[in-house]
Structure 1
Amino acid sequence: MDADDMRDADWAILNVLREGRANAPLIAEEAGYSSQYVRERLGRLKQDDIVKPLGHGIYEINEDEVPESDHDE
């Protein structure tokens, strides 16, 4: 996935995960999206190795795979 394919929700998810490991409900709460939508986007991000599942619903960011973008804060 390149930066042009990333949605605003994807960047919001990554911003939450840059603060540390988290599960979908926590990410949803902090990013302002529904848990269902966050889970959907996490699945897509996982397919592209941008996030890594650690088990028990916990994810962390894989910074090496994050596309370059002006969305970075």
Structure 2
Amino acid sequence: MDADNMRDADWAIVDVLREGRANAPLIAEETGYSSQYIRERLGRLKQDNIVKPLGHGIYEVVPEELPDE
């Protein structure tokens, strides 16, 4: 995924995960998006290797895979 294809929600997720590992409910709380939408976007970001799951619903960002903003 390149920067043009990333939605505002994707960047918001990345911003939260830059601060540390988090799960969808925490990301939703921090960003104001619904947990369902955050899970959907995490799935897309995972497909593109921008985030990786660590188990138990916890994710972290993969910095070297982030497109330039």
Cα distance, 1:39 vs structure 2 = 0.1
Alignment of 1:1-73 (within 5 A): 1-69=1-69
Instruction: Report the secondary structure of 2:59's partner residue.
Output: strand
> Which stretches in structure 1 are left out of the alignment for 5+ residues?
none
Runs (4+) of structure 1 exceeding 3 A deviation are: none
Q: Distance in 2 between matches of 1:15 and 1:67?
A: 13
Pairwise CA RMSD: 0.3
**CA deviation profile, 1:21-69 (whole Å, cap 9, x unmatched):** 0000000000110000000000000000000000000000000000001
The two structures have a TM-score, normalised by structure 1, of: 0.94
Give the deviation of 1:7 after TM superposition.
0.1
Q: Count residues in correspondence.
A: 69
Percent identity between the aligned chains?
Answer: 81
Structure 2 unaligned segments of length 5 or more: list them.
none
